[in-house]
Each structure stands twice: as structure tokens, then as C-alpha cells.
Structure 1
């Protein structure tokens, strides 16, 4: 018996098409906090964002990073990035805050 409408599973290719942009936050070995916001949808590329210490709600992600990398896919444009080190010093005043890389139209998943 045939179905009336086919069922399609979501794939990495589907996510790349709907969330074509990538932002990567790279820790520098110093505990730091970050907040990113976009004017579209935002999704963290992690099995468990809570285990990573990151909260994603709508187009905003807020979290902490010490070492390693956290990646997010998003649609639209980057609206804001805020980085502070463990002393509360912002990016312009601290060489210890994480680095942020934004790639528009990235096919990486």
C-alpha cells in the first residue's frame, strides 16, 4: 500500500539549507562567557547544549567556554556578539576572550 504523502527524514543537507551560516567560538584556555544573537534561527551543533553550559533560545545563545570549540548554525545575519573573560573584561580590553569566526553560506556540518 502506497502512502499519500512521502515522509522525509531531516538530514544534514536539509539543516545546511535552512541554516546556511556557521559561527564558531574558540576558547583560549581562560574561562569566558559569550552571547551571540542572530536575526534568524540559531541551533547549536552539539549533542547536549546543556552539558556544554550553553542556553539557546530563539536567535540567541549564551554560554561559557574555557577550551575547545562550540559551533552554531544560523539563518539570517549575525546581529550581536558579546565576549567577556572571567574578570568581566570585554573583548576590546582582554586578550583572553574567545575568538569568533563567522562563515556565511558554509556547507560544513
Structure 2
């Protein structure tokens, strides 16, 4: 099984140890959108980030998901998370929005 590799935001390589935290977005089978903002660096972890259709710019990631998992490594703290279903409904109006898990201090595998 192939390992996920971090996608760099800029030309400078950022060591994963400098990005000790992890955000995981889990799709629930309904097309949904998400936006994540952190107060430090943010990188998407993916085998093929282009296929994921997610944009990472500085400390913000924005994209869509219906099934599967998308992961992001980051430094600092999560400052904002927004998730909505295909109708634009958020929790608690929609039980279909993706699950979001934030884990601090996750070692690189």
C-alpha cells in the first residue's frame, strides 16, 4: 500500500516534524464542501492532490468531498472549520456533512 506524502505549499521543503498536528475530513457519501483555517503552516497529505480537487493556500484549505478521507498536516492551532452539504446546510441542520477530526501531536508514520 502506498504511503501518503505531504504536498508542499511553496518551493521550500517543510519537514513534517514541524507540522505535528493532523486534520482529517471524512466524507459521508453526500457531496459536501469544507474550509479549514489554521494559524500556522498547512499541507495536504495525499498520493495525488490534483485528483482530490482541494486548494491549499498558505494556512487555508478549501475543497469538496463526498466519500473517502482527506488529511492535512499543520502547525499551530485550528482557527476555523466550516463544512456544508450540497445544499449549503451545516450542522445541526444536516447530518450529511463530513466528520472533522483534529489531532494535536501526531507523529509521522
1:53-90 deviation line (CA, Å, top 9, x unaligned): 10000000000000000000000000000000000101
- What are the ranges of 5 or more consecutive residues in structure 2 without an aligned counterpart? 1-12
Return the alpha-carbon distance in structure 2 between the equivalents of residues 70 and 108 of structure 1: 16
1:41 aligns with 2:41: yes
Return the alpha-carbon distance in structure 1 between the equivalents of residues 28 and 43 of structure 2: 23
What secondary structure does 1:50 align onto? helix
Provide TM-score, normalisation by structure 1. 0.84
What's the CA shift for 1:91?
Answer: 2.2
Provide TM-score, normalisation by structure 2. 0.84
Larger Cα Rg: Structure 1 or Structure 2?
1
Return the alpha-carbon distance in structure 1 between the equivalents of residues 99 and 108 of structure 2: 19
Instruction: Give the count of matched residue pairs.
Output: 97
1:70 aligns with 2:105: no
1:22 aligns with 2:29: no
- What are the ranges of 5 or more consecutive residues in structure 1 without an aligned counterpart? 1-9
